[in-house]
Structures are given as C-alpha cells and as structure tokens.
Amino acid sequence: MVGATHEVEYEQMLLSRHTFLSQRGGRGKDSVLERSAYILLSRIRLQGPMSIGELSDAFGLDASTLNRQTAAAMRAGFVERIPDPDGGMARKFRITEEGARVLDEDRERIVQSLDRVMSDWPEEDIAAFAAYLKRFNTDIERLGGRPWPRQ
C-alpha cells in the first residue's frame, strides 16, 4: 500500500516541474531572472548584505558555485560588492536598485500566475495551503540546519 508520504513525494516532484511560474524556456515569457538568481536576490534582500562564505552556509553550496552565481548577478547589475558594513574583512554582496526592481517584477508575475492557478479556490483554502507549505519548508530547514529568513 502506498502511504501519504509517497503521495507527497509524487506531488512535490510534479510541483518542481511546473517552472512556468518563474522561469523562461520553461519559464514565464517575461521573466528576467534565472531560478538561482531569483533565490539569491531574495535571500540577500531579506537578510541584508552577505559574503560568499555566508551565502555558502545559507545555501549549502560550495564557494565556487556562489562565486559563479554572484559574478553573473554582478554582470547583470543585480548585486554590487561592498565593504562589510560591520567592519569585517570579507566584502559582501548587496542587492542593487535594478536587482530589487527586477526581483519585484518577477515576483509579481509569479503571484499573478498563482492567482490564475488558484482562481477557483476559496481564500481559506489558499491560506491553508500556504500554511502547510510554510510548515513543510520550515521543517526541511530545521532538519537541514539552514533556516530561511521570513518577512
């Protein structure tokens, strides 16, 4: 017998393929940000300026991966490198006005897509779904030791 956890696994796999919500070429046609840039900018915006080491710890990725991602974001004008505001030795990445603008535009497109997907859902169902997703994500973060800042 297949249990509920198997159903969660299957539905989560299907959810991960629905990248039309945020990505072009499989992404929303007007989207600007790659998935990794969207997540990177979201984290820096919530947490404030972060060094490569802090980003590596936050994402559980090696520094070379974060170096590539931040370099691409810098070339696009979405982040800038600044001295550590707290006086530390490592330079940090801060989201630029352009990065914030593009992030806001992409986020709004994603929200509009979700509104279309859930247009027939009662508001209480959407709120319950959001609460379950938050619980699911925070439990994953707790087990992985990498909590994500929330607004």
Amino acid at residue number 75: R
pLDDT at 127 over 70: yes
The structure's pTM equals 0.84
- Work out the angle at residue 90's Cα, subtended by the Cα atoms of residues 34 and 53, and round it to the nearest 5 degrees: 50
Q: What is the pLDDT of residue 151?
A: 77
Select the more confidently predicted residue: 23 or 140: 140
Q: What is the pLDDT of residue 27?
A: 43
Per-residue pLDDT tens over the stretch 14-69: 887 776 555 543 344 556 788 899 999 999 999 999 999 999 999 999 999 999 99
% pLDDT > 70, the chain:
90
Q: What is the pLDDT of residue 25?
A: 39
Q: What is the pLDDT of residue 24?
A: 47
Q: Shortest CA distance to 107 belongs to which of 60, 37, 47, 56?
A: 37
| 27 touches 20 (CB < 8 A) | yes
Per-residue pLDDT tens over the stretch 88-116: 888 999 999 999 999 999 999 989 989 99
Q: What is the pLDDT of residue 84?
A: 87
Taking CA atoms, 86 is separated from 48, 54, 64, 77, 96, in Å, by: 12, 14, 24, 24, 19
| 59 touches 52 (CB < 8 A) | no
